[in-house]
Structure 1
């Protein structure tokens, strides 16, 4: 007798009346499913987990569902492995909260033994052994991209751009058509703001309008190429990417600490867009740039918020939870930006809507186990300007050191750490004895004289470390000083106040070594990650003595640390050399390779599925993989090093046949060009997202990104070219049409999703601010570099405060403004500028009184309005009426109408020209894309 899929309950009822009692079966014999197991399941389980009802998404009347498990994502049955089978765990009441059956007493041990024995023998279920263990999703976004036929349209001119052909076909189905072309002024305003994020100058508008009167197609094509080639293109499109990945320069936790030099990743993104870096390469570099000489790109992985380990405390469970939270931030970033999926929803259980299991979640997290939030020196090409400059400065520093060697020991201040140099000495042990009673050292390095960068103090080199027992603190053991980890895990010695013992630390090598340099710090992680913190320059070391043990076991003093400030006051050649040396050190920090918040690398640990998302409930071990639904098996060994895991994942993600990567990318481009994506949920292509308005067009664009077949310029575009797709979209008739409303369009498609007109939309905060600066003539167009400061220099745990958000040092594009989480910039946050705590695939558009107040009364607008008025008067030779016209040109890109001129002149005479400028800046015409 056998079960027929779909009718287990009826057959089980018959079987129960026919077969003998379960308890009479001898476990020494092979367990028979129908006589031994089916009655238990029918009596104990199927009323809650059967055909009619599946509590917690779990079915136990089909073997395949047992293997898959329920919403928890834990397999109820793992053939041959009872210890990994969740069913055995719950019936044994291991966790009383999940004990099964829930309201009854524990199953008799004989029944538990039968279930255990059945699973150990392979969980054989006759009639169901051949069922597929996984059913593929039929959701549209998980299906392969299909290259559709380009529709034939009634209007021949539409065939020149496939985008228009797809749109026109859908419009015709709804009884709609494109609107008339936009006028030249509207078109150049629209193209300039969409492509580079800055309104055109009056002169550029006039020139374009003149060229359009002669040859509009050629004039527009030239305009688009000029804008795509502008260095400001990268600034505009980088900001869109930074919104999605939540990039910011503070960590966003309660301490909200600064992320030192995080801006180098921002500059990488700007360069990538300007260079039209192929999108597949763009993703690969951000995931594994450290092995591609693009170390600046990995800032992507740590762009989200996080809680620093230093603020978590020493409780191991709290540290494990914080680590799990940081890994979740990485998965949220990758999922939202590259895959368009809410992977994070599978952290505690299987995804409620999409085919993403909890096993998938932790398999993907295994890919990134070698990543930790923090800073490092980025891997750059040898010819990179910073590397070249760094080598030159290092050469000059070595020269100064050679000169100082003749004058005895000396000290170097590297801000984040101190170094003590002395004449090379051969020794098997080094000891530091401190004058201060309380000492904190997070890492102490001792360097070999013959190998300048070899730290022989490391425990991994076989070196042992010891210190005085008096004053030792168990939570901060001396072993922390040579574990190779910087930060809060330090050695702290604090002898009692009446103690005569001086704290010391001693390093013993496996064999004698020649040493000549010591480096130490109190919390070098602060140096790597923070710039603006107030901190003590001496780091709390005080004076200390460095001794080396000679071959006869005697300790010989080799150096005494006093503090650089005392040495600088000595009027001698030695003092002069030290000043010159420290000047070179400062130049190296500023001009050479610099530690930047781009992730730091750690040794990957084993990865387990965490039951209910808790690090205290590790389940089955998993290995690096992509999503099972998308054939995510990676060509990498289970315990491969971190870089190889990430390289393999990046290769899986960017394979041309991946159904999500290209679709998500082109939809994001479409969203920023037309104001709404073909899929209006750009970072959720799952079942909870919105279906595409034009699925065939979306697939054509995705296929065109991977392998271009069309071109609007003489050269054929390269595969994965973002500029090619953007060019194709903005060259379309859909983009160039008027935004004016039409009654029939509004009645059938009120939000213009079908693009019967160009959808008007409010521009972003950055566009408003940058265009104001351009109108006044003070916009600094420098590309890249450190962010301009608008906040205070804060104490370690105090709050950031805005101190100057409108002065001359802020007159750069807004993408270069310090990006602080949880801080209102007191001006453009009102215009929905993101806080960077959440993914912002598309920004909300709100209307609030604060917006009008900021554009009328903020110090920035008051200052800039006065500057615009002064510029207009200067360029109009003091003629008030002409200056008024010039203000309209500078701010709105047009001349005033007669009515506007009359009313505005009255305001000028009664008040000031700057007041008119403030009114124009506050107008809808200035804030909306035409």
Structure 2
């Protein structure tokens, strides 16, 4: 012992270091270091970065950054050693002037290596009991069994009661807009009033069922879901490129709500639909913004950072929409409020490691309408092709991202593609065996050799790139020498005689699959070419020319007509069949590491796929499970009935959209930083009912709108305003302004111009732009745009110049709850925008057709179309005077600006 003490004293005095095997005494060697250098900032009274170094258990847990300060037996894995050795810039502890001596650092290292013994604290544990209501199991015993019962109990405590039932005209307007986003027509309103007078309950119940069965129900509720996940059709970066065919995911959501797809299935398909026959559902995972690879560049650190940012977008979407927690807060450190560690964050990211932002062909079940339509159209196309081959014709098909050249079957050993231009580029050239459009015989795999013209060859742009299966910037190029007529060509030699009948060529097919509406996008950089085969004498003989195939003459009118028919079918396929769409790319998952302070350049411990540990997040899968296995396991964890969050979050979300405020006022944050529920027992009862209904969203919505609470008047009274002015206790129905979509769609409906077609590509209001230019609104009012606003191109960072003023979200941030502002621009847009002027004129024309030339009748018809009621005497007289002084269209514009039109009663 005396020797050991002497060595320790020598070390403290700057003498020779003790032998690494000599035991370290905590009280003598380590505690003074901690007390003198560490515990002032990391002790009982103060814990900078959430780190305490006065308790062993707290050391083992670590601070806010989530890394254990001490890992017994592993100094290299102990963050304490990283900071005291100043190995990580910005985290030097103590700072330079007070840096520990090498001797003290060595003592700490040896102490950790020897097991970090701390007498009296070896059994110390950190109590991390979760007691926040949202993370506790759902209650099973309740005092009430109806929504009204729970609400009345709270009202009784406050000395309040429900208001009287709303008048029938208000009631039909309220429930129609709440469930479908569209107001009732005058005919629908009057029919309800008449039925209501005979049997109010039966009339209301029938109305609710009709609205739930309406195809417009799915459109309304899809809009709410798209808000939460920030879905848009551009990526939101500097270039803000369009996400081609992303609308297919939007249509999936509309269909899911219309079909009343069980919510657990709805979630599962969006997370793992690629293995469940609903590949169009995974657009959910890539709904957030991202920076495309071309903007990121080739610098490795930038690539790694961009990948980490994209993973964060996925986790933000999943956390906010389904779990109701702010997962992203744990990217750099342990969540400051909720039981989500930095390790949990990266375990979650491991679940989604096989997802990349981009496009793919969706995996759809054989029964999917798109698959059925694809089979019908491709059969039609192939029938016409067979007819044309029998005629000995050759022709070109334009598939936008690539061209296909078809011709009668030819058996060849060698083939040459002779280009007409002096400078050509292609990313892929496929040659298909006759009768088998999936067998690309141009691949080297089949023994095919391709060479290009040595005189036009460009170093580094070799012809092998044409058969590598990579569409995009990995291209072949050929260029004629200056002043020479020599043209690029490609020479294919097959391993054996091969019968071919189709060539497919593209310039940048990936770009076409990923985006759209760009000036000069996918410009044909290969131009026209001749297809040549060797004749009996070994000379190249031209078999067909694409330039000739494109020409139209009277002699080939039959051929041209058939080509036109094929092109029409191709156009139909682009919207009705399963096309490449921005639904996410699937890649091989890689190992996942915790990034110290969120920095991908500082990877630490490896983690396996899992959900948050404190929420029983083990997924029961192998660490090296495939990407789909990980995601499917996570979806099943989310939808377990015992999961405390999933049902609560969705029930609250449905409530929020019907009342304008949730039982939990922060719909995407159920954590400690969020607001507490106003009616916690009712929320749990509704969550239990939701699960027992088979996760039926329509069932939950039906129960809410059928309640007395939903049917009551929105009029204020003195007692209610004094006790609960915001009506959180629901002593009245809280009136609120309707969303931008409802205002726009209602104007079109009143004008008789609403195209109520459900689904399909978005209507365009923007220009064709250069790649790095900004989108511009060029037409947001003409008849091609007269569809529901749900189908308007949803662009990030672009103001539509009319309804963005009504708090339509930019989709850059989670919008679980839209703000409601009041600005002069709103009134100006509803009075003077080209859209409103056009629709007011159309409405005036409709009114004149339906009401005749009598001004009083015209005024009454305006009120009926917009408010489903007649004007009172005061309104009638002032409106008649306005029409006489100006015109009927101006009255329509004035009425569009009224609170009655813009508010839900």
Q: State the alpha-carbon separation in 2 of the partners of residues 680 and 96 from structure 1.
A: 41
Q: How does 1:384-463 map to 2 (within 5 A)?
A: 384-398=368-382, 404=389, 407=392, 412-419=397-404, 439-445=424-430, 452-455=437-440
Query: Which of 188, 207, 214 is the aligned partner of 2:198?
Result: 214
Say which is worse superposed, 760-769 or 790-799, in terms of deviation.
790-799
Q: 1:905 aligns with which of 880, 891, 897?
A: 880
SS in 2 for 1:254: coil
* Residue 891 of structure 1: how far off its partner (Å): 1.0
Post-superposition Cα deviations, 1:31-84, rounded to whole Å, max 9, x if no partner, equal 554454434333332232222222222122223322332222222233443333
Q: Distance in 2 between matches of 1:899 and 1:799?
A: 49
Q: Which residue in 2 is equivalent to 1:310?
A: 294
The offset of 1:276, in angstroms, is 0.9
What is the alpha-carbon distance in structure 2 between the residues aligned to residue 760 and residue 142 of structure 1?
Answer: 32
Which of 19, 26, 31 is equivalent to 2:19? 26
Measured on the aligned residues, the alpha-carbon RMSD in Å equals 3.5
Shift of residue 18, structure 1, vs aligned partner: 14
- Alignment partner, residue 232 of structure 1: 216
Distance 1:459 1:614 in 2: 42
Out of 138, 141, 149, the residue aligned to residue 131 of structure 2 is 138
1:106 Cα shift? 4.5
Change (3 A) 1:28 1:19: closer
**Alignment partners' CA distance in 2, 1:904 and 1:361:** 61
Point out the more displaced range, 482-491 or 245-254: 482-491
Q: Within 5 Å, which residues of 2 pair with 1:875-886? A: 875-886=850-861
**How many residue pairs were aligned?**
891
Note if 1:926 corresponds to 2:894: no
* Equivalent residue in structure 2 for 1:177, among 141, 151, 161: 161
1:615 is aligned, of 600, 617, 631, to 600
| More moved, 629-638 vs 873-882 | 873-882
2:188 is matched with: 204
- What is the CA-CA distance between 1:291 and the residue it aligns to? 0.9
Match of 1:823 among 769, 785, 798: 798
The answer to which of 520-529 and 389-398 deviates more is: 389-398
Rounded to whole Å, the distance in 2 between the matches of 1:847 and 1:901 is 28
The alpha-carbon distance between structure 1 residues 424 and 646, as it changes in their structure 2 partners (threshold 3 A), is farther
Report the equivalent of 1:372: 356
Q: Distance in 2 between matches of 1:609 and 1:556?
A: 64
Cross-structure match for 2:653: 668
Give the SS at the match of 2:593.
strand
My pick for the range that moved more, 673-682 or 347-356, is 347-356
CA positional deviation for 1:91: 2.4
Is residue 863 of structure 1 aligned with residue 871 of structure 2? no
Q: Say if 2:763 is the partner of 1:788.
A: yes
1:477–1:697 distance in 2 versus 1, CA, 3 Å: farther
Cross-structure match for 1:269: 253
**What's the offset of the Cα at 1:401?**
5.3
C-alpha deviation, 1:431, in angstroms? 8.5
Distance 1:877 1:584, change over 3 A: closer
Q: Quote the Cα distance in structure 2 between the aligned partners of 1:561 and 1:604.
A: 46
Cα distance in 2, alignment partners of residues 128 and 446 from structure 1: 73
Structure-1 residue corresponding to 2:314: 330
1:892 aligns with 2:867: yes
Q: 1: CA distance between counterparts of 2:109 and 2:531? A: 64
Q: After the TM superposition, which of the residue ranges 812-821 and 204-213 deviates more from structure 2?
A: 204-213
Secondary structure in 2 aligned to 1:608? strand
Report the counterpart of residue 735 of structure 1 in structure 2: 710
1:58 paired residue among 51, 62, 66? 51
In structure 2, the CA distance between the partners of 1:555 and 1:532, relative to structure 1 (3 Å rule), is farther
SS in 2 for 1:250: coil
Contact persistence 2:508–2:522 (CA under 8 A)? no
Choose 761-770 or 202-211, whichever is displaced more. Answer: 202-211
CA contact 2:531–2:545 (8 Å) conserved in 1: no
Residues 466 and 505, structure 1, Cα contact 8 Å, conserved in 2:
yes
Q: Which deviations, in whole Å up to 9, do the C-alpha atoms of 1:263-300 show, x marking residues without a partner?
A: 11111111111111111111111111111111111111
Instruction: Answer whether contact 1:450 1:514 (CA < 8 A) is retained.
Output: no
Residue 68, structure 1, aligned to residue 58, structure 2:
no
Give the Cα–Cα distance (whole angstroms) in 2 for the partners of residues 806 and 148 of structure 1.
55
Residues 479-488 or 612-621, more deviating:
479-488
8 Å CA contact retained: 1:448, 1:513: no
Aligned residues of 1:320 and 1:615 also touching (Cα < 8 A): yes
**In 2, Cα distance between the equivalents of 1:126 and 1:457?**
73
Indicate if the aligned counterparts of 1:543 and 1:561 stay in contact, CA closer than 8 A.
no
Aligned counterpart for 2:275 among listed residues 269, 280, 291: 291
Distance in 2 (alpha carbons) for counterparts of 1:458 and 1:35: 73
Distance 1:143 1:512 in 2: 70
Q: CA deviation at 1:245?
A: 0.9
* Unaligned segments of structure 1, at least 5 residues: 1-14, 152-160, 708-717
Paired with 1:311 and 1:848, the residues of 2 have a C-alpha distance of 36
| Larger CA deviation: 910-919 vs 119-128 | 119-128
Is 1:487 equivalent to 2:480 in the alignment? no
Distance 1:122 1:562 in 2: 79
Aligned residue number for residue 693 of structure 1:
678
Query: Pairwise mapping of residues 473-872 of structure 1 onto structure 2 (< 5 A)?
Result: 484-490=469-475, 516=500, 518-535=503-520, 539-542=524-527, 563=546, 567-569=550-552, 582=567, 584-707=569-692, 718-872=693-847
Conservation of the 8 A alpha-carbon contact between 2:512 and 2:522: no
SS in structure 1 at match of 2:901: helix
Of 310-319 and 648-657, deviating more is 310-319
Q: Distance in 2 between matches of 1:786 and 1:149?
A: 47
Aligned-residue offset at 1:747: 1.6
Task: Report the Cα distance in structure 2 between the residues aligned to 1:460 and 1:241, rounded to whole angstroms.
Answer: 46
Once the two structures are superposed, what CA deviation does each residue of 1:658-694 show, in whole Å capped at 9, x if it has no partner?
Answer: 1111111011111111111111111111122111111
- Contact between 2:8 and 2:18, CA under 8 Å: does it hold in 1? no
Once residues 815 and 841 of structure 1 are traced to their aligned partners in structure 2, the CA distance between those partners, rounded to angstroms, is 17
Q: Secondary structure at the match of 1:783?
A: coil
- Which residue of 75, 81, 85 maps to 1:88? 81
1:279 aligns with 2:263: yes
Corresponding residue of 1:154: none
How far did 1:382 drift? 1.0
User: Which deviations, in whole Å up to 9, do the C-alpha atoms of 1:214-250 show, x marking residues without a partner?
Assistant: 2222222122112111111111111111111111111
Q: Matched residues in 2 for 1:29 and 1:507: separation? A: 74
**Is this contact kept in 1: 2:52–2:63, CA < 8 A?**
yes
Deviation at 1:646, TM superposition (A): 0.9
- Does the Cα contact within 8 Å between 2:163 and 2:713 map onto a contact in 1? yes
CA contact (8 A) 2:179 2:212 kept: yes
Deviations 1:101-145 (A, max 9, x none): 213354343443443344344444454444456723322211111
Which structure 2 residues correspond to residues 163-174 of structure 1 after superposition, within 5 A?
Answer: 163-174=147-158
8 Å contact 1:148–1:696 — kept in the other structure? no
Matched position secondary structure for 1:104: helix
3-state DSSP class of the match of 1:307? coil
Cα distance change on mapping 1:470 and 1:323 into 2, 3 Å: farther
The answer as to whether partners of 1:409 and 1:559 remain within 8 angstroms in 2 is: no
Flag the 1:605–1:494 CA change in 2: closer, same or farther, 3 A.
farther
Change (3 A) 1:444 1:655: farther
Q: Distance in 1 between matches of 2:580 and 2:224?
A: 26
User: 1:729-753 CA deviation, whole Å, 9 max, x = no partner?
Assistant: 1111111111111112112212111
Native 8 Å contact 2:249 2:281 kept in 1: yes
